[in-house]
Chains A and B, each alone.
Chain A
């Protein structure tokens, strides 16, 4: 039977393993036991030494590298990381997990890209590890872990507040009744079987809840607990004087692994990877919601559409389209030192859209120019001036989720919208397609000239 800690390193079993290790001293040393487990893993590729982690420290980095490459590298070879799915590695894996949490907690905190990658990678590791188990073993393990994570059989949906807030779980994916989440089969049958007509209640339970939702809840809970643990480490480290240098070194290496993955493999699937450079705006690549605002809005949604939605979108799309992948806070002058792009390209576009509103936005609400300026980070003033920069924050573009809440009439999704969660990601994705298309068109024109 696979150890609970192999799936949930934060379990009591996992904590016991960490306690047994004691000090940090040995984490950099070569460990023969670890190397022999790795090399003896069934499908492990051992043709290159670099495929084999030699210490706890190496193993921690391999965990991150596995996820980064799996996500971004089209030529990803799972055989290089087969050891991660060998249950014999459990003890080493748990230590590596804790090292990662502590390094990231100490150096970057819970809201960092590094934290997000670790939390996501833990979720993916669990999914993959469960996938290698037999149905029965998987079921028993998941039930055991869930039982230890949930204090009672009757769970109020508000118990999952953190998971719902971080969107790891969506409320509508759960079956709720009288404020409780229904996971147990007997509970389900007792509550609903008399209402179900023409279908077998047992089969409906298996389809709607069954192992699928139980696993989902368990995985998301472990992910949330991982994030919470990183937060605790971060808070604790703020109170302590000197963090362990090994953790700081590991934290730096984690960043290097992520950066290397991005630089080598580019954009990937639109996760944290990839950097899109600032360049002249191409309205053809705007998402449907932006196109709609550019045409002008009727009174009612004008203010939010121009100030809250369009201003951040246009400014970031033009000046800092990689804001979400780079995850580094910037001011406009970092990318437009003389503010000439703001003055000559960005503001005219926004003012044009405001003018096309009915009635024109700044005609009856001239004070909104101050709000617009504030969203660009130049404080509550009429015009953007370097001396005022930083008085307010340069607002990042609204997510699709927020657009649906604040401006529901704008959201008319097309095919590309299905793949993104922010209009800026739409733009970054589409701009390549548009460029490709125009290259193809000019190639055809060249042919005709010839």
Chain B
């Protein structure tokens, strides 16, 4: 087992070895190869950010030659499709993407500085939840996951959502992460009925319940939630085994209804940080190219075939790391 703290930046020699001996154009996902002429590529040659932009490759072979010759520090490719990608002109559509970065997850059970096995696994759990909602609620199918080096990218290529604008994407993000507290009082003809989110086993209330459950089970005594004081946090931690057993009603009673409301409000607000929403609403973003090397941590940006069984420390470590 390789520990990520051992994964220091790759040297120029190691980058050369990676692209010339290990990397293969076949590792670039088909959904990128098929649309290669419509996408913008960007490169970072020295480790200061992708400033070599607006690159276009007419064929996979030309991309292959570029990477093998230039062995860049980092390689990126647009989520956007253009008629004229060289000028980023005539945008036609863009993948819907979600960036779950392990180091930015708002509740982590580890205390590491950067990323570690524990928080990477937690990022994977969040990804699984998001995919579940993308498929189950939004009915999307063409979903790909990429291990980015320090987290995961979810890339959705269903035609239905590729053309939607920033505002729609922003609402999709909020739906997926559970950023709004659902109503709990509904008016009928002559009465009001109360349904807490956890008694509604479908739709957004159900998504919200899952995200709240995830958050509560991953909180620790140092976690910070808006308007939740230390005493309330302590009580949440004390009774959280009830949530694990899905005894929500009992949990709410133990905490008190008013205080329960505060907790879920705080979690809803925190949930906005589960993904980097700026990435999702950006229609012209460039994302790390799957198969390329994340030189900062010496990990391969890897297309994930099966997220349930994927282990970055088995599946995304370049050979040169083992030979260091």
Contact = CB atoms under 8 A, between A and B. Distances in A.
B136 A178 contact: yes
B174 A172 contact: yes
A172 B195 contact: no
B170 A401 contact: yes
Contacts of B188: 203, 206-207, 210
Given A157-B138, A178-B139, A207-B186, A405 B170 contact: yes
Contacts of B164: 158, 161, 165
B226 A412 contact: yes
Interface of A: 135, 156-158, 161, 164-167, 170-180, 182, 191-192, 195-199, 203-204, 206-208, 210, 212, 401, 404-406, 408-409, 411-412
Interface in B123-165: 136-140, 160-161, 164-165
B220 interface: no
A192 B139 contact: no
B139 A156 contact: yes
Contacts of B140: 179
B160 A158 contact: yes
26 contacts: A156-B160, A157-B139, A165-B168, A172-B175, A172-B180, A173-B204, A175-B202, A176-B137, A178-B136, A180-B139, A192-B201, A195-B202, A197-B201, A199-B199, A203-B188, A204-B200, A207-B186, A207-B187, A208-B186, A208-B200, A210-B188, A405-B272, A405-B277, A405-B278, A409-B273, A411-B272
Interface in B176-229: 179-180, 182, 186-189, 193, 195, 199-204, 226
A412 B182 CA distance: 19
Contact of A408 (B165, B175, B182, B273): B273
Given A135-B189, A158-B160, A207-B188, A171 B202 contact: no
Do most interface residues of chain A lie in helix, strand or loop, or is the interface mixed? helix
Contacts of A166: 167
Among A173, A178, A210, A405, residue most surrounded by chain B Cβ atoms (within 10 Å):
A405
A175 B200 CA distance: 11
Nearest to A170: B171
A172 B138 CA distance: 11
Contacts of A207: 186-188, 193, 195
Given A157-B138, A172-B180, A176-B203, 17 more contacts: A165-B164, A170-B180, A171-B174, A172-B182, A176-B204, A177-B136, A177-B203, A178-B139, A179-B138, A179-B139, A179-B140, A182-B203, A195-B202, A199-B199, A404-B272, A405-B173, A408-B269
A176 B138 contact: yes
Contacts of B189: 135
B134 to A, nearest CB: 10
A212 B185 CA distance: 13
Contacts of A192: 201-202
B172 interface: yes
Nearest to B203: A175
A406 B166 CA distance: 12
A406 B276 CA distance: 8
Contact of B171 (A164, A212, A408): A164
Nearest to B174: A172
A410 to B, nearest CB: 11
B172 to A, nearest CB: 7
Contacts of B195: 199, 204, 207-208
Interface in B10-34: none
Contacts of B172: 171
B281 interface: yes
A164 B202 contact: no
Nearest to B160: A158
Given A203-B193, A207-B186, A164 B168 contact: yes
Contacts of A177: 136-137, 202-203
A224 to B, nearest CB: 13
Contacts of B272: 404-405, 408, 411
A195 B168 contact: no
Nearest to B274: A408
A135 B136 CA distance: 34
A322 to B, nearest CB: 24
Among A165, A171, A173, residue most surrounded by chain B Cβ atoms (within 10 Å):
A171
Q: Shortest 10 CB-CB distances between A and B: which pairs?
A: A179-B139, A207-B186, A408-B272, A175-B203, A195-B201, A172-B204, A405-B277, A165-B167, A171-B171, A158-B160
B62 to A, nearest CB: 33
Contacts of B137: 176-179
B225 to A, nearest CB: 11
A408 B200 CA distance: 28
Contacts of A408: 269, 272-273, 277
B223 to A, nearest CB: 14
Contact of B167 (A167, A173, A210): A167
A180 B140 CA distance: 11
A166 B168 CA distance: 8
B187 A212 contact: yes
A441 to B, nearest CB: 28
Among B186, B188, B193, B202, residue most surrounded by chain A Cβ atoms (within 10 Å):
B202
Interface in B53-70: none
Contacts of B175: 171-172
B51 to A, nearest CB: 13
A348 to B, nearest CB: 29
A199 B202 CA distance: 13
